[in-house]
Structure 1
Amino acid sequence: TIHVVGSPAIDGIGDIAPMSDAESRALGNPRGVLLLHPSGLADERERAIARETASSLGGVLGSRVLWLAPNLDPGRGVLIEEVRAIAEDRGWTQLDHLPRAVFVSLLKRLSCSQQGTRGVLIGNSSAGLIEAAALGVPTINVGPRQNGRERAGNIADVPEHKLSTLTGTLRASLDPHHGDASWSHPYGDGHSGEKIAAILAEPSPGVDNLVRKRCTY
């Protein structure tokens, strides 16, 4: 039996308030968040994606970008090296990590429902596909890292061979008439954990046969 319960990744996000003006100023008052991880490509291809993404962000938003460091997958150093020069030239705020509650509060501030502070998440993080979708944050997904994954209406995909379209896509995503906070998404209502626990607690016919080891060789 398959139970569709949504994603636990959005459980509890309704309890987090949007980031305040003071908290945003401490991060450089960003309208764009860059979260770009390695995609398992050759170094030169990773460099091209990082360079074009950072250049487009800098050209459109100037200093109002928060750059969060990539994860520890192979290729991390290449991305950091390529983005850092642009980040320092533009005066971006650079952080290794944001606590989850702070990250979610920032996404809420950038969502379409927040007139005057709406912004964009750009890169290739699963947060763009899940948390940002649930919160109504315009997201630009760059390159192949998330290929094949389910998407909601907040996503604008820019494949590796169309990096020249990044600036136009970014401007469109920041347009106040683009999208809305009620984009539909498949990730549930924020109570997935409760639903999973309830399902696991239900008696299931034949469950003994499922938990007992059975050799098939």
Structure 2
Amino acid sequence: MKKIAVFTGTRAEYGLLYPLLKKLEQQSELRLQLIVSGMHLSPQFGETWRTIEDDGFTIDAKVEMLLASDTSCGVAKSMGVGVLGFADALERLQPDCLVILGDRYEALAIAQVAAVMRVPIAHLHGGELTEGAYDDPIRHAITKLSHFHFVASEEYRLRVIQMGEDPEHVWNVGALGIENICTVPRVPLSTINQKFQTDLKHPFFLVTYHPVTAGNEDSEGTFRNLLSAIDEFPDHQVLLTYPNADNGGHRLIHLLEQYASERTNRVFAVPSLGMQCYLSAVEHCAAVVGNSSSGVIEVPSLKTPTVNIGVRQKGRLAAASVIHSGTTRETIRAAIEEALAPRAKQVAEACENPYGSGETSARIVDILRNEQPPGAKRFHDMSEPHEE
């Protein structure tokens, strides 16, 4: 029986992986092994490993790696701690393939270990660009360490091939998040209020802002501008979710908690909504505001306008419903006003999402079941002919 290990280090990544995990679990000839680390194990970020178990999955390895410090040095040291734990986990589990989604430092840590221990890697969401985060080079590094590539668009497939990967091992399967939108039932706003002790009513903004880890954008300054801009819409409530565990994230959490505590009847801060409540909140809200990848990749399929702030997602394909904003209070306010205009909702209802239409996990599972990794990777030169 082929053992397929899947790594998850964040709530958002787990939400995207959920349909793939379910499909893998159903395969009689495949054995799912789940490796959980990073933010999942942190009380500050909601100990979301409990959600994974509540969803019925068995966690085969928990690897602690997050240190208290969120400085660049602290993050680098967290990676080192992760490498030690991942080596033990992979040595014990002996998987035939390791599935990694995305571009975070936790993923790079386990990818390094898998490469050295000769565990073939299947990488999801390669070939993308996010110029405002150091995730960009991390994503490309994982691509070069991987044997199988499951990308979310044709443009990204070609980019992975451009990086020297064998075209026969690069598949455009679309984004897993779109499959969740097609299959996960939504819940009413009352359910969200009951679960998180909020008092949301219509209309409200769903806001998630992550630290910018590359480029010149001042994350704290931009976040302050975002909060100030939101104050200019007093008729709208605000649902704030915590940022990722990136450099400077602790300071942003302090700011959002302070902001919410000073506006108790209007602003609600939640560490993690979970996939079902997040997708439901997107459908209920007036606009998604911030700089998360979900605002660009998944939200357009839910027919809700997105205000994408700053450079973190710069370079990523985006649907027409995504409104790009600068980082000043004035530009953010103007972008929110545009998102609230009737035309923005019309565009959101009519636009096509470039990240596919679902059925992604079945294609990935079929390939993992039938494909064998090459004995040794070779660099594919672009001058070599290949079939499209």
| TM bracket, shorter-chain basis | 0.7 to 0.9
1:158 to 325, 330, 351: 325
Cα distance in 1, alignment partners of residues 240 and 377 from structure 2: 50
Give the % identical residues: 24
Write the mapping of 1:1-217 to structure 2, written as runs, cut at 5 A. 1=167, 2-26=170-194, 27-29=198-200, 31-40=204-213, 45-61=218-234, 64-91=237-264, 92-110=267-285, 119-160=286-327, 162-178=328-344, 179-200=347-368, 211-213=374-376
Specify the SS of the correspondent of 1:67: strand
**Superposed structure 1 runs of 4+ greater than 4 Å apart:** 41-44, 199-203
Give the deviation of 1:165 after TM superposition: 1.3
Instruction: Provide structure 1 residue ranges, at least 5 long, that are not aligned to the other structure.
Output: 111-118
Deviations 1:16-64 (A, max 9, x none): 3443142255433261011011112699922210111011112214561
Question: Does the Cα contact within 8 Å between 1:46 and 1:78 map onto a contact in 2?
Answer: no
In structure 2, the residue corresponding to 1:180 is in which secondary structure?
A: helix
State the Cα distance separating 1:122 from its structure 2 match: 0.8
Aligned partners of 2:217 and 2:310 also within 8 Å: no
Any conservation in 2 of the 1:16–1:105 contact (CA below 8 Å)?
A: no
**Matched letter for residue 304 of structure 2:** V
Give the TM-score normalised by structure 1: 0.80
Please state how far the C-alpha of 1:78 moved relative to its aligned partner: 2.1
Paired residues of 1:60 and 1:171 also in contact (CA < 8 A): no
Structure 2 distance, partners of 1:132, 1:88, is: 28
**Counterpart AA for 2:211:** P
How many residue pairs are counted as aligned between the two chains?
202
Question: Quick one: distance in 2 between partners of 1:132 and 1:73?
Answer: 23
For the residue of structure 2 that corresponds to 1:9, the secondary structure is helix
Report which stretch shifted further, 191-200 or 86-95: 191-200
Distance 1:4 1:78, change over 3 A: same
Report the TM-score when normalising by structure 2.
0.47
Contact 1:51 1:83 in 2 (8 A): no
- Name the CA distance, whole Å, in 2 between partners of 1:126 and 1:187: 12
Checking the alignment, whether the CA contact within 8 Å between 1:38 and 1:73 is kept in structure 2 is yes
Pair 48,78 (structure 1): closer, same or farther in 2 beyond 3 Å: same
* SS state at 1:59 partner: coil
How big is each residue's C-alpha offset from its partner over 1:45-93, in whole Å with a ceiling of 9 and x where there is no partner? 2221011101111221456101101111011122123333332222211
**By percentage of residues, which structure has more strand?**
2
Distance 1:132 1:44, change over 3 A: closer
Structure 2: segments with no counterpart, 5+ residues? 1-166, 380-388
Please give the per-residue CA displacement for 1:103-131, whole angstroms capped at 9, x wherever unaligned: 11111223xxxxxxxx1111111110111
Q: CA RMSD in A?
A: 2.7
